[in-house]
């Protein structure tokens, strides 16, 4: 069964957000819908939309199978997690906050289970 995900994130400034998310995700938007909206990935889409009154209230977690590599690559692009967590079951999470305060989490399996 194929599953597509569409997560919308409101931001104050589309240009600043597009730049930050390109560094976080490692690529430019896959589709620019309009002057105030961009899609950042296909099939597992994170879309940013300029809506200043709603900015900063989103929470999104992306679970990846190459957690350590991605966290390292994001750091090389100048973004560090604001917090790193390991849950009792061993699942790991790196939390990032965009310039508006939206929380983007990267999740990874416990060490040794990937």
Model-level pTM?
0.85
The pLDDT averaged over each successive group of 10 residues in the chain (114 residues) is 75 93 85 73 76 94 90 97 96 96 94 74
Q: Domains plus CATH for the chain?
A: 5-108 (3.10.180.10)
Q: Which pLDDT does position 64 carry in this prediction?
A: 87
Q: Which pLDDT does position 45 carry in this prediction?
A: 78
Q: Which pLDDT does position 53 carry in this prediction?
A: 95
Tokens of 18: 């597009």
Radius of gyration of the chain (CA): 14
DSSP string, the chain: ----EEEEEEES-HHHHHHHHHHHHTS--SEEEETTEEE-SSSEEEEEEE-GGGTT--EEEEE-S-HHHHHHHHHHTT---SEEEE-TTS-EEEEEE-TT--EEEEEEPPTT--
Q: Which pLDDT does position 4 carry in this prediction?
A: 67
- CA distance linking residue 28 with residue 89, whole number of Å: 34
């Amino acid at each position: 069964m194929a599953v597509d995900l569409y997560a919308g994130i409101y931001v104050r400034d589309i240009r600043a957000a597009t730049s930050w998310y390109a560094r976080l995700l490692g690529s430019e938007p896959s589709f620019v819908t309009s002057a105030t909206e961009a899609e950042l990935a296909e099939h597992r889409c994170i879309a940013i939309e300029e809506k200043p009154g709603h900015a900063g209230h989103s929470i999104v977690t992306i679970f990846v199978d190459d957690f350590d590599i991605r966290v390292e690559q994001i750091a090389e692009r100048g973004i560090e997690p604001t917090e790193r967590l390991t849950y009792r079951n061993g699942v790991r999470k790196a939390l990032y906050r965009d310039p508006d305060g939206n929380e983007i989490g990267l999740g990874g399996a416990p060490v040794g289970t990937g």
